[in-house]
Amino acid sequence: MPLRFKNHHDREIWAMFERYQPNCSSSSNWFKAGWWKIAPQQSVVVYGGNPQADNPIWYCYAFDNNGTEWRDKYQESVPHKAFEWCSNVSDSTCRTILMTEFTVTSPDHTMNFR
């Protein structure tokens, strides 16, 4: 019952997610993690639990090295290196991204990057 990210793009992408996690820290109920390197036409499991049971609303962001981004309007601060942080964590190496909100519709869900 995982959450997968699938790359339908013609170039390698890097992706992250943010999900609801009660009491992630004393001041945050959200958890963010990245970066998954995903080759063209490949998919990766980014969360091994039941994403629908945890909370159907998730956020993601992806980019390629040619400037293409999969984004929307939900602001977050992320580092350039791999991370697993509560949403209120940041450091001097972080940059601001704009995540896309998506709804998980089944316990085995794939988020497609086209």
- What is the average pLDDT across 10-23? 98
Please give the structure tokens belonging to residue 95.
């940059």
- What is the average pLDDT across 87-109? 97
The amino acid at residue 44 is V
Summarize pLDDT for 61-71 with one digit per residue, the tens: 999 999 999 99
Summarize pLDDT for 42-78 with one digit per residue, the tens: 999 999 999 999 899 999 999 999 999 999 999 999 9
Kindly report the pTM of this predicted structure.
0.96
* pLDDT at res. 1: 84
Going through the chain in order, the beta strands assigned E by DSSP cover 3-7, 13-25, 28-38, 43-47, 57-64, 69-70, 74-78, 83-86, 95-103, 109-113
